[in-house]
Amino acid sequence: MDGRSLLFWTGCFGTFDERIRRVVRAFEELLLLSGVMMERIDGVCCGDPLLQVGDVFGFRRKVEENVRVLSGYGRGRIVTICPHCMDVLKRECDAYADGIEVMHHSELLCELLESRRLRSCASSMRATFHDPCILGRRNGIYEEPRRVLVLSGIDLVEMSRTRQRSLCCGGGGARMWMAEERERRVEECRFEEALATGARYLVTACPYCLVRFDSLAQARPGRGMYVRDVAEVLLAATQLGGSEV
């Protein structure tokens, strides 16, 4: 960290979804442990869902509203737990781009670990990582979340398809809100790939992916796989030695 102010953009999921609020709390605890001060913006949608359903004019209006909101906070860093929010803020809020760095929380956590602002205990966890489409293929962020896991002492095992070849969670392109009638959904295929690694934890870094996979895990408790965000895993490794999360 270079002393600039940090603004935490929680997004829709981080404000209104109880499962993702747990990720927000884990990330905030990690910031507290590392001594990083931040200011929070809650309940503001980035506009990405509007764009995904084809409401281009609604999306443009939302971007303009968000620029006005952000303009009151000054320069510094904006961090978010959602790759969709990160992507929109990076690419669309150009009017506010001067002096602002938009980053994903896995990037900041990696930075804090590498600078030893955060320290984790030895972990006994075995995990596999799912690359979110917007984080990876669109923004090229593949290594930072993996570095967070490795620096947390986690035994990281990869799925057969990773990074650029990673399979989608099924929640992108507005499919998050579609009623799918197919017998086998895309997230089920990906979940099976995760199970095949023998890992106990499926870790990701996107609210869409987390909600989709967590729903599957809850429906199949006998399969013995738990779905977590990178922040939750790191917090467990920091506080509990990573024995469980």
Tell me the percentage of the chain whose pLDDT exceeds 70: 86
Tokens 């738990």 correspond to 226
For the ranges 70-79, 172-181, 219-228, the lowest mean pLDDT is seen at 172-181
At 125 the pLDDT is: 86
Question: With bands split at pLDDT 50, 70 and 90, how would you rate the model's confidence at 1?
Answer: very low
Instruction: Please check the confidence at residue 242 and state whether its pLDDT lies above 50.
Output: no
Tell me the percentage of the chain whose pLDDT exceeds 90: 50
Mark whether 189 and 206 lie in a shared domain.
yes
Taking residues 161-169, what's their average pLDDT? 88
Domain boundary among 111, 134, 151: 111
CATH number of the domain where residue 71 is located? 3.40.50.1860
Q: Are 102 and 90 in contact (CB under 8 A)?
A: yes
Nearest to 115 by CA among 241, 2, 235, 24: 2
CATH number of the domain where residue 215 is located? 3.40.50
At 230, list the tokens: 């990178």
| 175 compared with 140, residue with greater pLDDT | 140
**Average pLDDT score, the chain:** 86
Instruction: Please check the confidence at residue 196 and state whether its pLDDT lies above 80.
Output: yes
pTM assigned to the model: 0.88
Residues 155, 134: Cα–Cα separation, whole Å: 25
Map residue 203 onto helix, strand or coil. Answer: strand
Taking residues 95-106, what's their average pLDDT? 80
Nearest to 144 by CA among 160, 163, 157: 163
At 177 the pLDDT is: 52
Residue 244 lies in a domain: no
Taking residues 188-193, what's their average pLDDT? 87
Residue 207 lies in a domain: yes
Question: With bands split at pLDDT 50, 70 and 90, how would you rate the model's confidence at 4?
Answer: low
Mark whether 22 and 102 lie in a shared domain.
yes
Mark whether 106 and 11 lie in a shared domain.
yes
Mark whether 125 and 235 lie in a shared domain.
yes
Which tens digit of pLDDT belongs to each residue from 67-93?
888 887 777 889 999 999 999 998 887
Which helix (H) or strand (E) covers residue 190, if one does? helix 186-196
Mark whether 99 and 124 lie in a shared domain.
no
Domain boundary among 47, 82, 111: 111
DSSP 119-130: -------EEEE-
Segments forming the whole domain that contains residue 10: 6-111
Which tens digit of pLDDT belongs to each residue from 113-161?
999 898 876 677 899 999 999 999 999 999 999 999 999 889 999 999 9
Greatest alpha-carbon pair distance for the chain in Å reads 51
If one counts the domains in the chain, the total is 2
At 135 the pLDDT is: 95
Mark whether 159 and 177 lie in a shared domain.
yes
Residues 120, 152: Cα–Cα separation, whole Å: 5
Mark whether 155 and 211 lie in a shared domain.
yes
Instruction: Please check the confidence at residue 3 and state whether its pLDDT lies above 70.
Output: no
Mark whether 45 and 147 lie in a shared domain.
no
Instruction: Please check the confidence at residue 174 and state whether its pLDDT lies above 60.
Output: no
